[in-house]
Amino acid sequence: MHKKHYIIAIDIAKDSLRVQTLDGAFDTTNDKRGFNQVCRECAKHLAPRVVMEATGGYERHICDHLHARGIELVVLNPKLLRDFARSEGVKAKNDPIDGRMILRFATEKQLRATPPPDAAQHQLTDLMDRRNQLVSMLTEEKNRAQKSNGPTRPLLASIKRILKTLEAEIARLEEAIRKLVSQSKRLSAIVDVTSSVRGVGEVTAWSLIAYLPEIAQVGRSQLAALAGVAPYDDDSGKSSAPRHIHGGRSKARNAIYMATHVAATWNPVIKAYVQRLMARGKPYKCALVAAMRKMLIHIQSLIKKQLLTLES
C-alpha cells in the first residue's frame, strides 16, 4: 500500500515560485526566503511531498534546501507534464495553470521520490554540464571555420584563437573531473568498470554517472525508459506500426549512442548483435537502438556487481 502524501506543487521561474496545494496557492521568491516559506508550508501537513518540474537549473537551490531539511521531493520531466496537460485538453501555459497541472499530475500518479545527490555527484553533474556547453560551442566554431574561405578568410584567425581557448578550457574541466572522480571510491569504481566495456570511454562513464545516477537502483525496463531507449508499441486493431523510442534523458542517451556506435565496429559482442539484427532486415538505426539497450543493461549489471563488492 502506497503512503498517502500531502502534495505541495511548485512551478519554478527564475526569480519566483508559484506554490499550489489543495487548500490554495501563493507566490514567493526563488531564494532562501521563499524556500523557508515552502518549508513552513510543509510543516503544516503530515507526510508532505514537494513536486516540481525540472527547469534547466532554476530548481537546483530549492532542491538542495529541501533535501537538507529532510523533506521528500519529486522533480518531474517537463515533457511528461506537458503531455499530461495536453491529454487534459489544457493548451494554455502560465504559472497558475502550471501549478495546478503539477498538483493534479502528482495526485493522480504514483511517483518515485528524487533522492538527494551526494556532494561529489552534484559537482560532477555541474562539471559535465559545463563541458557539454563548451563542446557545443567548439562544434559551432569548427563549423564556422569550414566556411571561412574566400572573402571571409581573415575571420579564420579569430576562429582559431577561440578554438584554442575552448580546447584548453575543456581539457581543464576534464582534468577537474578526473581529480573529482579519483577522490571518491564509489565514482572511481563505477568509472573503472564502465570504461572496461570496449567502446565505452571515460566521457561516457562520466555522463552515465552524472545523468543516470539511479543506474544501480532501478530495474532494466525503468533504466531503458529513463535513458529514452525503451521501445513503445504503436498498434491499433489489426494494424501494427513499428515501435519507436521517445522521451528520456537526452544527455544520457547521447552518451550511450556514441559509445554503441563505436562498439558496433570494435566490440565483438555488440558488432555481432547489430549484424544479426540487420541480417533479419532491421535498419541500422533500429539495430543500433537495440544495441544501446543491450549495452546499457550490461553496464548496469557490471556497476551493480562492482558496488556490491565495494560495500562488502
Domain boundary pick from 108, 140, 170: 108
189 and 288 in one domain? Answer: yes
33 and 130 in one domain? Answer: no
173 and 276 in one domain? Answer: no
Whether residue 114 lies inside any domain: the answer is no
Cα separation, 19 vs 275, in Å, equals 53
Whether residue 71 lies inside any domain: the answer is yes
Find the CATH number of the domain harbouring 64. Answer: 3.30.420.40
198 and 286 in one domain? Answer: yes
The pLDDT tens digits for 110-124 are: 888 888 878 898 899
Whether residue 93 lies inside any domain: the answer is yes
DSSP H helical segments within the chain, as ranges?
A: 32-43, 60-68, 78-87, 95-108, 119-147, 155-182, 185-194, 202-211, 220-227, 250-266, 268-279, 284-311
Burial class (CB in 10 A: 0-12, 13-18, 19+), 171: exposed
Contacts of 203 (CB under 8 A, 6+ apart): 174, 255
Domain of residue 312, residue span: 185-234+246-312
304 and 257 in one domain? Answer: yes
89 and 135 in one domain? Answer: no
* Number of domains, the chain: 3
Whether residue 155 lies inside any domain: the answer is yes
Domain boundary pick from 79, 108, 137: 108
Identify the pLDDT of residue 297.
95
Whether residue 198 lies inside any domain: the answer is yes
Whether residue 275 lies inside any domain: the answer is yes
Identify the pLDDT of residue 26.
94
200 and 175 in one domain? Answer: no
Q: Residue 176's CB: how many other CB atoms inside 10 A?
A: 15
308 and 205 in one domain? Answer: yes
**Which portions of the chain are predicted below pLDDT 70?**
1-3, 91-95, 149-153, 231-247, 312
Helix crossing, 185-194 with 284-311: angle to 10°? 140
The pLDDT tens digits for 194-234 are: 999 999 999 999 999 999 988 988 888 888 888 888 764 44
Cα separation, 248 vs 229, in Å, equals 8
141 and 91 in one domain? Answer: no
195 and 286 in one domain? Answer: yes
289 and 192 in one domain? Answer: yes
Domain boundary pick from 108, 133, 168: 108
pTM: 0.76
Whether residue 241 lies inside any domain: the answer is no
Identify the pLDDT of residue 121.
87
102 and 67 in one domain? Answer: yes
Whether residue 239 lies inside any domain: the answer is no
Residue 309 C-alpha cell reads as: 563488492
